[in-house]
Amino acid sequence: MPTHRLRLAIIVIAAALVIAALAGCGSSGGSADSAATDIQFLTPSEFTVADYAGKPLVVNFFGSWCGPCNSEAPDLAAFAQANPDVQFVGIAVNDTESDVTAFMNKYGLSNPVVMDDDSLGAEYGVTGVPETIFIDGAGQEVDRLIGASSLDQFGQSLAKAQ
């Protein structure tokens, strides 16, 4: 009989852990939603590179659900803060505005975000997230970082766009 009770205890503990994990998934937290007005959300049709002409533009395809995107986000935020004359646009892939808002607030990102309907990813030949495209002031792509990137990589790519 002790093995039956042990199995039952293991099942109960495992179920409790699964329930606790699921309760936290997808939660954006109450405080993040209150700052939603700080982030400018755009539709894919509202985003054109020509609107950002004259200065370098960094376009970051990401997902709040993406582990590598979360890994690079602190460096991306530090990079954006260190380069106030550079324009940044995030392209959220397979995401929701509430999850994107929580992601942006978590990492201190304040750039405009386009909620992609898969059209921009296809248009720019994006193979996955994160993927960051560097565009010079004339509107030409000069570099592309595929996968989670570091502060140094962002800096090297920006040098090509200036």
Domains identified in the chain, total number? 1
> What's the pLDDT score for residue 47?
93
- Asked whether residue 21 is domain-assigned, the answer is no
> What's the pLDDT score for residue 64?
98
Instruction: Measure the CA–CA gap between 142 and 42, rounded to whole angstroms.
Output: 24
- Asked whether residue 16 is domain-assigned, the answer is no
What does pTM read for this prediction? 0.76
- Asked whether residue 25 is domain-assigned, the answer is no
> What's the pLDDT score for residue 38?
76
> What's the pLDDT score for residue 7?
53
- Could you give the C-alpha distances from 108 to 32, 38, 39, 41, 77, in angstroms and in order? 11, 11, 11, 16, 6
Helix (H, G, I), strand (E, B) or coil at 134: strand
> What's the pLDDT score for residue 51?
93
Q: pLDDT in tens for each of the 162 residues of the chain?
A: 455 555 544 443 444 333 333 333 333 333 334 444 479 999 999 999 999 999 999 999 999 999 999 999 999 999 999 999 999 999 999 999 999 999 999 999 999 999 999 899 999 999 999 999 999 999 999 999 999 999 999 999 999 999
Nearest to 129 by CA among 74, 64, 80: 64
CATH number of 70's domain: 3.40.30.10
- Asked whether residue 131 is domain-assigned, the answer is yes
- Asked whether residue 23 is domain-assigned, the answer is no
Instruction: Measure the CA–CA gap between 39 and 18, rounded to whole angstroms.
Output: 33
- Could you give the C-alpha distances from 59 to 6, 22, 40, 136, in angstroms and in order? 53, 32, 15, 11
> What's the pLDDT score for residue 8?
44
Domain that holds residue 121: 30-161
